[in-house]
Amino acid sequence: METYIQEIPGERTIAQIENAIAYEEQDPAHFLKSAISYHNSKFTNLATFETLADTADPGQFKLQLASAPPPAGFAKVWEGPMIVSGTNTMVAAYRQ
């Protein structure tokens, strides 16, 4: 399996970022982490994904503010800063 980076614009809402990650995982791929970077004259999110076997299902993905309680039945897979709606925000990623 290989890893690759996908840019997710920082002006998106947390729901739009969650949808972008879920869309990318249809490849199939698995979200690993994200880093804030200055890219193409703006701050943005560079998300790292790992490719999966064609039959692999990464499971349902949730992204929310790190300060929110974890969703029931989900395990935290990553926590860190992302640019959300143009603001540096601590978020947490969960997978079922």
- Please tell me the predicted confidence (pLDDT) of residue 65: 98
- 79's CB contacts (< 8 A; 6+ apart) are 66, 90, 91, 92, 93
Q: What is the pLDDT of residue 28?
A: 87
The DSSP bridge partners found for residue 86 are: none
pLDDT of residue 27: 82
What is the structure's pLDDT at 76?
97
Pairing of strands 61-65, 29-39: unpaired
Q: Does residue 85 have a pLDDT over 80?
A: yes
| pLDDT, tens digit (0-9, with 9 covering 90-100), for 20-69 | 999 999 888 999 999 999 988 999 999 999 999 877 777 899 999 999 99
| Total number of domains constituting the chain | 1
Task: Print the domain residue range for 80.
Answer: 3-95
